[in-house]
Amino acid sequence: KVQVMESGGGSVQSGGSLRLSCTASLATLDDYAVGWFRQAPGKEREGVACLKLSGGVSYYADSVKGRFTVARDNAKNMVYLQMNNLKPEDTAMYYCAVEEAPVYPPLLATLCQNADFGYWGQGTQVTVSS
């Protein structure tokens, strides 16, 4: 079973930045897609940003475009979510998930929107105060 772990959550004021990190118990992430998702109390889980590591295809939810960036660190076999200009509405539990990468790159958006990933971390809390 693939184990996924997130780190880097915390509390920040509006306009601030945080970087979340994700690692998985895999020798390499090359054949996988890594996604970041969030869920606020009383709301459905939302696909925030996803990355197909081979080829670098990415997807971002409209709500975070221009503010969040998903990227990999090849040396550390990790994926980051850099979150800038944070807003109170970004407050949520953030989850990292891993799935075998889709052969057809445009399918990444569908996988991300539907949170159709098989391996999930426990989540890390992000709180943005106004």
Q: Tell me, what's the pLDDT at 31?
A: 92
Using one digit for the tens of pLDDT, what is the confidence trace for 2-30? Answer: 999 999 999 999 999 999 999 999 999 99
The DSSP line for 55-101 is: TTEEEE-TTTTTTEEEEEETTTTEEEEEE-S--GGG-EEEEEEEEEP
Using one digit for the tens of pLDDT, what is the confidence trace for 69-124? Answer: 999 987 888 999 999 999 999 999 999 999 998 888 889 999 999 999 999 999 99
- Report the candidate in 81, 91, 93, 94 with the shortest Cα–Cα distance to residue 129: 91
CA distance 115 to 110: 8
CA distance 67 to 51: 16
Q: One-letter amino acid identity for 31?
A: D
Using one digit for the tens of pLDDT, what is the confidence trace for 43-55? Answer: 999 999 999 998 8
